[in-house]
Amino acid sequence: MNYIFCFLILISIIAGVANGRASEVMTAMFDGCETAVKIALSLIGIMAFWLGTMRIAEKSGFVQILSKLLYPILKPLFKDLKKDSPALGDITMSISANALGLANAATPIGLKVMKELQEDNPSKDTATDSMCMFLGMNTAGFQIIPATVIAILAGLGASNPERIILPTLIVTALAFLTAIITALIFRKLWNKKEAE
């Protein structure tokens, strides 16, 4: 990906110089850098707030309580997951991070979940049903509050960045449900094929 970005930047600079617009290219580059810094600074506050909130929830035991409450819902989705599995709490954390629009926080949690699921995997070279289900759910990334997108829009000076909440909720809910249904269908087809 880095090579692609470098290639695009070089082509842009060469095209700008060839067309006699080198000063405009340089101005655009500096404006882009300034915008990137503004966006990064606007993200720091909201990320710190939500990550801190999640850490407090984890340390206070709220995540474990939430895991127990969600277990009846998660059990049919993660059939091979034990009730006392540490992956259950991390799945809850990952879903919560995605729901709050913190995809950056959900990624390391998701990797931790996959590692924990792999430890219980009897066939180490094949993904379990729970691994496939979690991958689909985590990739779909259901969001109630798209905090990162709101912070980016606010950093760019959008007048009503919160207007993105409803469309994001609808789209991510549909993607989340589609991922779950698809994983369930493929689980049933795969298990039927294995039984034959």
Q: How many CB atoms lie within 10 A of CB 55?
A: 12
Say whether 138 sits in a helix, a strand or coil: helix
Q: What is the pLDDT along the chain (196 residues), one digit of tens a residue?
A: 788 988 888 888 888 888 888 888 888 888 888 888 877 777 777 777 777 877 787 788 877 777 777 778 888 888 887 777 778 888 888 888 788 777 777 788 888 889 988 988 888 888 888 899 999 998 888 888 787 788 788 877 888 888 888 998 899 999 999 999 999 999 888 877 766 6
Q: At what angle do helices 165-195 and 129-140 cross, to 10 degrees?
A: 160
147 and 99 Cβ atoms separated by less than 8 Å? no
Q: Give how far Cα 191 sits from Cα of 79, 137, 179, Å.
A: 13, 20, 18
Structure tokens at 127: 């993904």
**How far does the chain reach from its first CA to its final CA, in angstroms?**
43
